[in-house]
Structure formats: C-alpha cells, structure tokens
A and B are shown apart, each in its own frame.
Chain A
Amino acid sequence: MIRFAGLGLINSLRNLNRSLMTLAAMAMAGLMMTASLSVQQGYPAGEAFTYRAFLGGDILIYPGRVVVEAAHLSQEDSTPWVWSRDAGELTGPLAYLHPEARHPGHVLPAGQSRELAQSARAYHDLIDRIKAVPGVMRVSPYWTIPVPVMYYGPPTDYMSPRPVYHSVLRARDVVAETELARLMSENELMVTGRYFRPEDDGQMVAVVDAGRRSFDGTDISMGQVLQILVPRPFRDQEGRTRLDYTRTVTVELTVIGTYVLPSRSIIWEVETPSGPATASEQLYFVTPEVIVPLGTMEKIVNLATGVTDMAQVLSPAAILVIVDNFGFVEAVASQLQEALPALSVTSVPREMVRTNLAGLPERIVEAPEDVRPVLRPEDLLPGQWGRPIDVSPLLNGILFLVAALVAATNATILVLERRRELGVLKAVGARNQDIMVMVMTEVIVLAFTGATLGFLLVQLYGSAVLVTTGTSWRLIAQLAWKEWIMVLGVTGSVSLVFSLVPALSTLRMTASEVLRLQ
C-alpha cells in the first residue's frame, strides 16, 4: 500500500507539467474558498451602517466593564467584582442600547470608577492610547449632557412655552464626521429642514429626532426654538462628573431639521378573510437627543463653566472609534480591549446583536407580541442588519461552489487524461486497488498542495493586514488553522470523489478496452 502511495507521490512530481496545471487549478480553488470563508467571517462594508453613522464610529468603548460576559467573571482575579448602583445616571448609547442597565446597575471590579476618565489629563491620555492602537483611524467622543428642555412653539407663537421635558444634549463633530451627513442626504432621512453643514459649527442650531413623539409624546418641528437649561458640570473630589441643576444656564437653540433613522422591518403573517397575508412594520432607532455641533457644545459648556476644554468638567458617555478597514473591526476591537482592560470595548455590529438579544432598542408599535423580541441568535447574525436582503451569503455560496467545481473538474480531467496509463498499468499486472491507491494519492497530494498554495496566497495578504492592525500572531494562527482545515477538507473530498468516479469506471473495463479507448 505504502509503495503504491509512494508511486502516486512520485508520479505527481515526475509529471511536473501536468501537475503544475492541476496545482494551479487547485490553488485557484483553495484561493476562492479561503476568500469566501474570510468574507463570511468578516463584515461587509455596509454592515450596521445606520448605527455606525448615528453613533459616530465602528467600535464602542464604554466606561467600566459594563459589557460583561460570564468568562470575565470566572477568571481568577484578585480584584472582586462588585455591584454598582449608580447606573441610573447613565446617558448616551449605553442607556439607549441597554435600557435594562439604567435601574439594576451592573458589576464592576471593586474600586473602579464608571467614568471613562477622572480628569482632563486622564481623558487626553486615554484618547492618545486609543489612537496608538494600530488600525484606529479616528476617535470620536460621545459628549452628552442630560438637560431639561423647554421649547417654544413656532416662531410666530414664540411666547407660548410648553411643558419641560428631559432630553440629552449631544455633540457631533460636524466638520470631521461626514458619515451621518452622508446617511441623511443619501437616504433622504431628514423629515424637515436639513442636517448640519461644517459652517454650522459654533452656531446655536440643533437637529432632533422627528420620531420622538413615539418616544415621549413630544413633537418638535423645524424652526422651533428650544430653550435648554444647561446644568453646570463639574468634577467631584473623586474625579467623577457631577451636574449641578440648581445653577443652570439657559441657551436657545433653533431647530434646523428633524430626522428619522429607519433601522429595519419586522414582517409577520396575518390571517385575512381572503387568506394569509404578510404585514410589516418599519422600525426606527429613536433617541431623546438634541444634537448640536461640537463647537456649539463647547460654547455652551464654556458658558456654563468658563472652561474651554470640556474634559475638565465632563467625561464622555462613550468613545467611538473609526477604524481604517472595517473588515478587521473585530481584530481592532480585541486589540483595544487588550490595551484598555478596565473599559468595555465592542464593535457596533456585535453590540447590535447583543442588544437585540437582550431586547430590541427600537420601539415596536404594530407588530404582535409573538413576533417580538427576536431572541434566536441565528436571526441576529451580522449581515441581517439595515438591508432588506443580504446577498453576501449567496455570493459566498456561489464563490465556494465555483471553487468546488474547479477542484472537481480538475480532479476528473486528471484521471481521464491518464486512462491510457491506467490501461498500461493494468496490462503490466497492477491490481485495481493498487492503481486506485496510486491515483488517489496523486490526487490528494495535488489537491492539498494546490489548496494550501491558494490558501497561503490569501492568508499571507490577510495576515499582513492583520499584523499591521496589531493582531497577535496567536490569534492569526488560530483563525488560519481553522480555515486551512476547512479548505483542505472541501478541496480534498471534492477532488477525491470526482477522481474516484472516472477512475472506477476506467478500472471496471478490461485493460484491452481501456487501451482501445485511446
């Protein structure tokens, strides 16, 4: 048996011209399979784009270890994890995406503050540390101040104030950040008015969510003037941000636009007299934010406190990170988490899945109870967000199928081309099983070598990119190992099956018949 396997191996080396062709084809198959697998494991560029654009980045960094998994708690840690009761003060995406966290609080390592930074210096150090992580392109702090708002009616009815309600003042860097502006303009998401332009920076203007009527019953339209009572932020002795609502500064902001953020649809089946029909509800991502340009926010804080650096009195609710290459967002996130062990780092797509598993961030009005919330993880995989149809699995499938066909065709041709040789081997006294072992060895050697070559071509590029993002070699090796096994398994088994069939049909003939075929 070993001798015949050896013969197969020697054959593939000796018959180099033909072997090179087969190797090239198998390499192509391996390359396509690896690419398909890599694409499948990454995110498409548009993944969770609505959320990324609205939040202002691809990776979320929360203060403290608020995104806690069982594995974190079970680690041997000299610091005990304790219950934190001050979560009622949460603002920003943590409050929107984790409504349950508002009241029960969460666990944190003892002695750890839930502030991102306890001083302006610590804040700037933190930003520098984040920027130093490979793969990070830009950092976007999520500045918020919870504010009571008194709004006035339309300009013609300026003197008729409405009740005060709670809102959150949020800053957007309208000069540097273009994602939300692009999302708004390309998708015509402004219900009234317009989104910010760079020249609005520092102006007393705001945009608000037109859908907040469903959120808290209030209705704001373009042209209204909002009177905002800005509390005086300060840091206490422990460096925590405090907001003094007894000494507020009143500022007036003119609403220049109202927007909506449609996220996705829920489709369900309803029984009608004419038979079953489908019904759907468009969901919207709604927040109580009054969005102002960053320069405007700085001006307001300066009015309230006299400081020019907001970090002296405020700590952002979260930090958003924009990565160089969104395909490697998870690798960058894992590097950030390694660099910032006291904070919670998560990619926006993963956070959306996690949030949805806990409860939908969007309000559902019409859909019946039994279709919400969606709790099956397979329904919440990245790739199903923000688009009506996700074609990437289909494209991956086609790519994979083509790769398998390339391998299958080559394996078949490899054997069919050698029918005369098989006939000669039979004629000189080789037994069928000996010939099969020989052919199979040759096919497997060529398939494995070719597939590995193709795999390496893709993997070398992928690894080079991952290394530049600071991903550890261990992680790269772990990812590569699994993909390699899968590529080898598919290429090898497809090649074996598709070479086995012509080989068996040839060997079933007499030597004379086989030689006569040629």
Chain B
Amino acid sequence: MEPQRVDYGPVESMDLRPQPVLSTRKLNRAFHLGAAIYAVHNVDLDIYPGEFVVIRGPSGSGKSTLLSLLAGLDRPTSGRVIMDGLVLNELSEAALADLRRRKIGYVFQFFNLIGHLTARQNVALPMAFTPAPQWYIDQRCKELLDLVGLGHRADHLPGELSGGEQQRVAIARALANAPSILLADEPTGNLDRKTAKQIAGVFHHINEQYRQTCAMVTHDPELESYAHRVIFMADGSVVETVRGGRGR
C-alpha cells in the first residue's frame, strides 16, 4: 500500500510553524479481556524536532503502550500515529520495519541486548539491515560507543557489562541509523540512582549536543529537569502537559 501523506493544509497558506516529528490523533489501544480495556485512550500528541519530552504517570497509565505505538512496535486500535508525514498504522509490515529502521530508535527498560553479540555487534545490528558498507558500520559503531563512553568495552559481551553499561550500549544501538526520534521506555527503571543519573546525562547530552529528539517514559521525577516538556498520563489519557526543567 502506498504510504499516505498527511495534508497539513493548503499550499497557498504555507504554515511556517515547526512541523512535529511525531504526532498522534485520537489514538486508542484497547485490549480485549472480556470487555475492551483502553490502555491508551484518545491521545493527541505532537513532538517537535529537538524536543526532549518526558512522559510520566502511575503504573498502568498507558505510558509504555503509548511509546510502543509511537515506535510502531504495536498497532493502534483506532486513531493515527504520524511520523514525518507518514501514517504508521496504514503502513505494511515491511514498510513499518523500514521506518523503524530509518527513523526510530528505541531503548528498552531491560536493555534487550542480544547476549551472544559483543557491544560493538549489538550496536551494528540495526545497520546490518541497511546497505551500509562494513567500513561505515565499523566507524559508526566506534563513534557511538565513544559517545556513550564505552569505546573501551566494545568487544565485551553484554554479560560482562554492568546494567548502566548495557543501557548505554542499548542507547548507542538506538542511535545507530541516526533516527528522527529516540524513544526510551523507563531506561533508568532498572538501574540504581547513580547509574540512572549517568544514563539520564547521556540522553541529555545527545539531546543538547546533537539536537536529537527524545521521548522518554519514566517514573523518576528527577528526569523532569532534563525535559522541555512533561506529559502526565492517567488511565490511558494525557491529563496534563507542563514545562520541564529546560522548557521555555
């Protein structure tokens, strides 16, 4: 199916406001457990280039489900997820995989590194599905591991790395194909406070230095200080949006 381009308005009245990298419109995700239970309910959201958005809310509020929908890892029940003008839920499986590869970086709470691959090989994994030549893959891996401060642990297996180091490898992997947006699902949730702060620092650095758009789901209120915007969710809906520590 031909990807559908979203018409943001007539050309003659060109909208000069910044266009969102990622938007949702009336987004719903229901799970059918006897009756339909909405994990995400009528969410309208726009994330703009270079923005650092933190999504907070109590457990079961639908944060992680929303992030999965934003990343194209899950299909919405209704509504739309729009990325760079493409409606994700109307894409074929192959086109969606292509979009995930090129435009989305995803960091999991439990790292999800592949245990039998070294840090370097884990970082190279998303590039293995592109036509990138090997020399480029090698150079990019080195850059990214240096960026997250793990250049010296490139040949270590995940089992030989600490939790924080594993998460940094996961961040490097998510950045491999220079995505339009970096999505992170509680990246510090499985780490001690000190390591969590280091990881938050990595996200901050990437966002600050490279203008990498980031959206992070977290329980940790301290991470609000790194955000431009903080979105609060409850019962699957966005209940409040406030400025973060870096918001203007």
Contacts and interface: CB of A to CB of B under 8 A. Distances in A.
Interface of A: 3, 7, 11, 14-16, 18, 420-421, 423-434, 510-513, 515
Interface centre among B93, B102, B129 (most CB of A within 10 A): B129
B112 A429 contact: no
A146 to B, nearest CB: 80
A424 B112 contact: yes
Interface in B82-131: 93-94, 97-102, 104, 106, 108, 112, 114, 116-117, 121, 125-126, 128-129
Nearest to B101: A429
B102 A429 contact: yes
A433 B94 CA distance: 9
A433 B98 CA distance: 12
Interface string B168-195: 0000010011000000000000000000
Nearest to A513: B74
B71 interface: yes
B225 interface: no
Given A3-B128, A428-B129, A11 B116 contact: yes
A513 B106 CA distance: 15
Interface residues of B, number: 28
Contacts of B73: 426-427, 510-512, 515
B97 A515 contact: no
Between A14, A427, A433, the greatest number of chain B beta carbons within 10 A of the residue's beta carbon is seen for A427
Contact of A14 (B71, B108, B116, B176): B116
Nearest to A6: B128
A430 B93 CA distance: 10
B74 A512 contact: yes
Contacts of B129: 428-431, 434
B68 interface: yes
B75 interface: yes
Nearest to B72: A511
User: What secondary structure prevails in chain A residues at the interface with B?
Assistant: helix
A3 B137 CA distance: 14
Instruction: For the complex of A and B, list the 3 residue pairs with the smallest distance between their C-beta atoms, beginning with the closest.
Output: A429-B101, A15-B116, A512-B74
Contacts of B93: 431-432
B126 A429 contact: yes
A432 B94 contact: yes
A428 B98 contact: no
Given A3-B128, A510-B73, A512-B68, A432 B97 contact: yes
Contacts of A425: 125
B37 to A, nearest CB: 15
6 contacts: A3-B128, A14-B121, A426-B100, A427-B108, A428-B126, A510-B74
Nearest to A19: B116
B25 to A, nearest CB: 20
A352 B25 CA distance: 84
Contacts of A429: 97-102, 104, 126, 129, 177
Contacts of A432: 93-94, 97
A431 B126 CA distance: 11
Tell which of B75, B97, B101, B102 has the most Cβ of chain A within 10 Å.
B97
A428 B74 contact: no
Contacts of B68: 512
Nearest to B104: A429
Contacts of A424: 112, 114
B190 to A, nearest CB: 15
A492 B194 CA distance: 51
Contacts of A16: 116
A429 B103 CA distance: 10
Contacts of B71: 427
A420 B74 contact: no
Nearest to B29: A512
A513 B73 CA distance: 8
B158 to A, nearest CB: 12
Contacts of A7: 128
B95 to A, nearest CB: 9
Contacts of B173: 428
A142 B226 CA distance: 103
Contacts of B176: 428
Contacts of A420: 112
B116 A427 contact: no
Contacts of A434: 129
Scoring A425, A429, A433, A434 by chain B CB atoms within 10 A of each residue's CB, the highest score goes to: A429
Contacts of A3: 128
B106 A421 contact: no
A108 B102 CA distance: 81
Nearest to A14: B116
B145 to A, nearest CB: 16
Nearest to B173: A428
Interface in B31-48: none
B77 to A, nearest CB: 12
A426 B112 contact: no
Given A434-B129, A510-B73, A510-B74, A427 B112 contact: yes
Given A428-B129, A430-B97, 4 more contacts: A425-B125, A428-B101, A429-B129, A431-B93
A192 to B, nearest CB: 77
Nearest to A508: B93
B136 to A, nearest CB: 14
